[in-house]
């Protein structure tokens, strides 16, 4: 780190400390031990809130709770430190797909914004000329923000299940967690539970159905990968690679294979053209961000299904990243009926 960069960040850290103190952060805790123990069945050792997931949303929820004086909060994540969210693992784009001006994890405090962090490191002019946010910069920023706001995370702890506490079903939840490093399970009690699981919370990885091959068959991690898997692209050097799908991650993974020296990369797509219009563009405007949660469940379900059905075009940055290689080809009308591993 050069001394200018160090000074810039040090100055920002001081500004943040001052801003947070001015806002009386962290607020004085108000759910006191007394008020807790007065409620039947709520013990002093119990948590007010358990947050599962220390990605962007989980750490922001913890920050918001500290701001409101709720201090008996624990944040857990099954990933190890620095591996939370997709940023340093299976997100393989160079830059974020969202525009650089989006805010959120800063909770409206300007010196905690990405812009403030980036400008402290590189200067205001660099911010002005920045096209999109580098993926790993975004990750570094989130980790910096976590430190500045004093959010502690218990890593390598997985959420397994939840049920109402048998003695006090209306007041307490009982959550089963597992320490992944020591394979030890424990029950913890909390009054509220925030599941900030990101895409993992939507279920499991989705695979197409093939007659001759399932994800637990031979070949997985050797010649067949899901885009969310850890992938060593060097194994694809001088190989012919086929990518199924045409979404953003399909292009990003194709680009990684090309950059690693694959002999050729073909993108196979069922459709006869790529989606052209991004129907979810409106999601980056405050009208959507403030208004979406106030819609009825039925309307939200309808809206999201519509966006998913229409499909989002791949970002043009990802497409250009592949198009630089004449070893790259897009094959439309190429549905896969089956998959066989040839030894
Ligand atoms: C490839 C890719 C690119 C993306 N690009 C962008 C982008 O450019 N801009 C944008 O705004 N969004 C992007 N997204 C969406 C992005 O995932 C979210 O914006 C952001 O990460 C959401 O934050 P989150 O906290 O909801 O989820 P995440 O950041 O995914 O965090 C969820 C956390 O929950 C943890 N977790 C899950 N299950 C458990 C469990 N059972 N027990 C304990 N911990 C658990 C996970 O380990 C993870 O750390 C992208 C997503 C992907 C996959």
ipTM of this model? 0.97
3-199 and 204-276+313-343 agree in CATH topology = yes
Mutate to test the pocket of ligand 1, among 63, 76, 80, 86 (most ligand atoms within 8 A of CB): 86
- Half-sphere exposure (Cβ direction) of 169: Cα atoms closer than 13 Å: 3
User: Which residues sit opposite 264 in a β-bridge?
Assistant: 240
State how far the alpha carbon of 177 is from the alpha carbons of 163, 180, 182, 183, 184, in Å: 12, 9, 12, 10, 8
Q: Specify the ligand 1 atom closest to the Cα of 159.
A: 42
Whole-number pLDDT of residue 217? 86
CA proximity to 74, closest of 190, 179, 200: 190
Element spanning 323, H or E: helix 316-323
Report the distance separating Cα 234 and Cα 226, nearest Å: 16
Q: What is the pLDDT of residue 284?
A: 79
Q: Which residues of the chain are under the pLDDT cut of 50?
A: none
Beta carbons of 317 and 93 less than 8 angstroms apart: yes
Helix, coil or strand: residue 101? coil
Where does ligand 1 bind, in terms of residues with CB under 6 Å?
A: 52-58, 76-79, 84-86, 91, 96-98, 158-159, 196-200, 249
Give the per-residue pLDDT at 341: 87
Predicted local confidence at residue 181, as pLDDT: 94
pLDDT tens digit sequence for 71-96: 999 999 999 999 999 999 999 999 99
Q: What is the DSSP letter of 222?
A: T
Please give the CATH architecture assigned to the domain spanning 204-276+313-343: 3-Layer(bba) Sandwich (3.50)
- Please report the atom of ligand 1 found closest to the CA of residue 97: 8
**For position 6, what pLDDT does the model report?**
66
What CA–CA distance (Å, rounded) separates 190 from 72? 9
* Sole residue written with tokens 């910069």: 137
Residue 58 CA, closest ligand 1 atom number: 25
If one residue of 156, 200, 308 were mutated to test the ligand 1 pocket, choosing by the most ligand atoms within 8 A of its CB, it would be 200
Please tell me the distance between residue 78's alpha carbon and the centre of ligand 1 in angstroms.
12
Give the Cα separation of 223 and 243 in Å (integer).
12
Structure tokens at 183: 């394979």
Instruction: Give distance in angstroms: CA of 55 to centre of ligand 1.
Output: 6
Per-domain boundaries in the chain: 3-199, 204-276+313-343
Query: What is the structure's pLDDT at 2?
Result: 66
Taking the C-alpha atoms of residue 56 and residue 317, their distance in angstroms, rounded to an integer, is: 23
Q: Given its phi and psi angles, is residue 311 left (phi above 0), alpha (psi -120 to 50 degrees) or beta?
A: left
Q: Which fold has domain 3-199?
A: FAD/NAD(P)-binding domain (3.50.50)
DSSP reduced 3-state for 309? helix
Separation of 92 CA from ligand 1 center, angstroms?
A: 13
């Amino acid at each position: 780190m050069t001394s200018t960069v160090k000074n810039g960040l040090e100055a920002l850290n001081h500004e943040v400390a001052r801003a947070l103190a001015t806002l009386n952060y962290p607020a004085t805790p108000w759910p006191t031990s007394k008020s807790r123990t007065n409620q039947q069945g709520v013990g002093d050792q119990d948590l007010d809130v358990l947050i599962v997931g220390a990605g962007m949303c989980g750490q922001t929820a913890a920050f918001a709770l500290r701001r409101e004086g709720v201090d008996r909060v624990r944040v857990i994540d099954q990933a190890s430190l620095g591996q939370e969210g997709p940023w340093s693992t299976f997100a393989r784009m160079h830059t974020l797909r969202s525009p650089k001006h989006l805010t959120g994890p800063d909770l409206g405090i300007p010196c905690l914004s990405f812009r403030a962090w980036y400008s402290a490191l590189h200067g205001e002019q660099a911010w002005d000329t920045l096209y999109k946010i580098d993926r790993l910069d975004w990750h570094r920023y989130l980790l910096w923000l976590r430190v500045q706001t004093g959010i502690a995370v218990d890593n390598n702890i997985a959420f397994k299940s939840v049920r109402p506490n048998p003695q006090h079903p209306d007041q307490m939840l009982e959550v089963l967690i597992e320490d992944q490093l020591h394979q030890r399970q424990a029950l913890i009690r909390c009054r509220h539970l925030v599941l900030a699981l990101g895409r993992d919370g939507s279920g499991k990885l989705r695979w197409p159905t093939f007659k001759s091959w399932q994800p637990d068959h031979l070949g997985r991690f050797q010649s067949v990968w899901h885009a969310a898997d850890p992938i060593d692209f060097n194994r694809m050097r001088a190989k012919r690679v086929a990518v199924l799908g045409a979404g953003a991650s399909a292009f990003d993974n194709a680009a990684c294979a090309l950059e690693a020296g694959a002999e050729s990369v073909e993108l196979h797509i069922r459709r006869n053209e790529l989606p052209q219009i991004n129907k979810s563009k409106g999601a980056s405007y405050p009208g959507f961000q403030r208004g979406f949660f106030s819609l009825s469940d039925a309307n939200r379900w309808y809206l999201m299904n519509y966006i998913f059905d229409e499909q989002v075009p791949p970002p043009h940055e990802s497409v250009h990243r592949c198009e630089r290689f004449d070893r790259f080809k897009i094959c439309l009308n190429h549905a896969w009926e089956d998959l066989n591993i040839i030894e």
